[in-house]
Amino acid sequence: EQINKGKYEHYMQKEIHEQPESLTTTMRGRLIRGGSCKSKSVLLGGIKDHLKTIRRSRRIVFIGCGTSYNAALAARPILEELSGIPVSVEIASDLLDRQGPIYREDTAIFVSQSGETADTLQALEYALENGALCVGITNTVGSAIARHTHCGVHINAGCEIGVASTKAYTSQIVVMAMLALAIGDDTLSSQARREAIIDGLFDLPSKVKDVLKLDQEMKNLAQLLIAEQSLLVFGRGYNYATALEGALKVKEVALMHSEGILAGEMKHGPLALVDETLPIVVVATRDACFSKQQSVIQQLHARKGRLIVMCTKGDAASVCVGGSCRVIEVPQVEDCLQPVINIVPLQLLAYHLTVLRGYNVDQPRNLAKSVTTQ
């Protein structure tokens, strides 16, 4: 049934729309609601025997490519916050090019939908040689990465066929958030925060269902952008990853140049590109970075930027002060889960842009689902 397109025209479209279900499957049996005197918690069977070692690590290093790298970037802040351990995120090929240091006191976490990506697999061999504890986060039971790591968590997102990764991305973020909750489980001071995130996880599939209602709005936006040469996406904090991943989707399937930009770097170069013609998406949903994003929007307005602002429902008036802009309103969730919501409109935008531009959605030119050569 999973490899049938059902009522959808393309696998990418189907996989975007099945995210409420794939996320539910990812979390199934792993969130414990807690009884009257027991607090809410997370149970990840695949790593439970290694949690003590992970907590004692000197560093957590995430390693992946493409979308899997972006997912790790989205999860890094909550890992840092709940574990108190320094967290770095490495592109597998870059780690190998540099032969970057990996220590036996490190926990190296390999993120890969297919579990077969050559660069990630080679980085795993390198980390094993260096004595790190190696953890796999994959969507493929029995894959090379699942087999060669010491322990791991399957994301259980179901088979992903479209070359553009969509539902695996959101499930990867959720698994890494659950990992952060499991690692931080022994810290009393963050219990309220953890419980709020667990409540947020329970609600997440229904919020994703809500955001999918933007489908027609994203199709209209795609119509407007159909002939553009380029699209910039600005994000920061939890949503820097959203900017990178949104831009990756647009470039890989719609074959349109697109760049994800850390908003904090705007003045250090990208601002020179801004004029009244270049479309720019700014992710400015409510979190600790919101006021900084408001100021970015004002500066872009001052340069007559052509803005499309993604904001929290009800915030349209407060994000578009001082200029005109198109707004994408999304439901608010816990800050660390917001990237799961925010990527959905951008996945829809990339999908519709591709169809309208007449390109192959599920099999973009020059790309393979699983990159097994270096």
Give the interface with ligand AGP as residue ranges (CB under 6 A): 65-68, 112-114, 117, 120, 163-165, 252, 370-371
Question: Shortest Cβ distance from residue 114 to ligand AGP (Å)?
Answer: 3
- Beta bridge mates, 327: 309
Give the DSSP letter of residue 32.
E
Question: Is the CB of 71 or the CB of 274 nearer to ligand AGP?
Answer: 71
Question: Shortest Cβ distance from residue 67 to ligand AGP (Å)?
Answer: 3
Task: Quickly count: other Cβ atoms within 10 Å of residue 288's Cβ.
Answer: 11
Question: Is the CB of 320 or the CB of 350 nearer to ligand AGP?
Answer: 350
CB neighbour class for 283 (10 Å; exposed up to 12, middle 13-18, buried from 19): buried
Question: Shortest Cβ distance from residue 184 to ligand AGP (Å)?
Answer: 26
Rounded to 5 degrees, what are φ and ψ at 364? -60, 150
Question: Shortest Cβ distance from residue 248 to ligand AGP (Å)?
Answer: 6
Question: Is the CB of 163 or the CB of 179 nearer to ligand AGP?
Answer: 163
Beta strands in 96-237 (DSSP E): 106-112, 133-138, 151-154, 230-235
Rounded to 5 degrees, what are φ and ψ at 53? -65, -45
**Closest to 42 (Cα-Cα) out of 50, 51, 33, 53:** 33
As a whole number of angstroms, the distance between CA 292 and CA 315 comes to 15
Which residue lies nearest ligand AGP, judged by its C-beta? Answer: 66
Question: Is the CB of 12 or the CB of 197 nearer to ligand AGP?
Answer: 12
As a whole number of angstroms, the distance between CA 108 and CA 72 comes to 12
Question: Is the CB of 136 or the CB of 331 nearer to ligand AGP?
Answer: 136
Question: Shortest Cβ distance from residue 292 to ligand AGP (Å)?
Answer: 28
Give the DSSP letter of residue 47.
T
As a whole number of angstroms, the distance between CA 364 and CA 168 comes to 18
Question: Is the CB of 20 or the CB of 115 nearer to ligand AGP?
Answer: 115
As a whole number of angstroms, the distance between CA 30 and CA 125 comes to 29
Question: Is the CB of 124 or the CB of 198 nearer to ligand AGP?
Answer: 124
Question: Shortest Cβ distance from residue 140 to ligand AGP (Å)?
Answer: 8
Question: Shortest Cβ distance from residue 123 to ligand AGP (Å)?
Answer: 11
As a whole number of angstroms, the distance between CA 114 and CA 146 comes to 10
